[in-house]
Every structure is written in C-alpha cells, then in structure tokens.
Amino acid sequence: SQQGEEDPQALSIQEGENATMNCSYKTSINNLQWYRQNSGRGLVHLILIRSNEREKHSGRLRVTLDTSKKSSSLLITASRAADTASYFCATSQSGGTASKLTFGTGTRLQVTL
C-alpha cells in the first residue's frame, strides 16, 4: 500500500506566491525525499531530509519533517511558472535500501502568470 499521502492533490497559485504541500507517511523512516515530475517526464530529485533533521533549505525550497506526526511539508517560495509540475514525497524506510523508496500520490502544482 502507498506509504505517503499528500495534500492537496492539486494546487493553483499565481506567480510570486508561496506553495505549500504536505506529506504523511506510516512507518519509521531513514529519510524523506521530495521529487518533481514535469508532465510526461521522469522524476527529478529536489531535496532530502533525514529522520534526525527537522528543517532543511535549498534555494527557494524549504522542507520540514515531524517524525512524531509522521509528516513533512515542502514550501516553494516566490513561485514561478516554471515550477508547474507534480511533486512527490518518497520515504526510505528504516532498515530498507536506497533502491526501495515508497512514494506518495503527489500534488499537482499549477503556477499561473
């Protein structure tokens, strides 16, 4: 069964606004990762946060992790039209391998001019 559930399923914002998407998962994890998928393309890794970290930044991306609530959020600040894509969280479970990620259902982000 799916490890991660994401909300919202879809998000539409205007350029310059911030976008926040959330991910919940079910079991203990080594790390949680966020990936981006442009329409019809493969996934691209954005950022990774380990289970002992609470917050991480990379450029316009900010990720938080709350292991007590088994949840994470991805914030994209000052969004651009080029940020339009689907965003997926993925977890690497405790005791698992790096080849075995469990993905959420994704959030479709639409950024309009």
- Given the rule CB under 8 A, which residues bind another protein? 1-2, 4, 9, 30-31, 33, 35, 40-45, 48, 88, 90, 92, 97-106
The angle at the Cα of 36, spanning 35 to 40, to the nearest 5 degrees, equals 130
Q: How far is the CB of 67 from another protein (least distance, A)?
A: 17
Question: Which CB atom, from 2 or from 12, has the smaller least distance to another protein?
Answer: 2
Question: Which CB atom, from 19 or from 90, has the smaller least distance to another protein?
Answer: 90
Element (H, E) at 20: strand 19-24
User: Using CA atoms, how far apart are residues 65 and 74, in angstroms rounded to an integer?
Assistant: 9
Q: How far is the CB of 16 from another protein (least distance, A)?
A: 29
Structural contact between residues 10 and 110, judged by C-beta atoms closer than 8 angstroms: yes
Q: Residue 48 corresponds to which tokens in the numbers above? A: 């990774």
Q: How far is the CB of 66 from another protein (least distance, A)?
A: 20
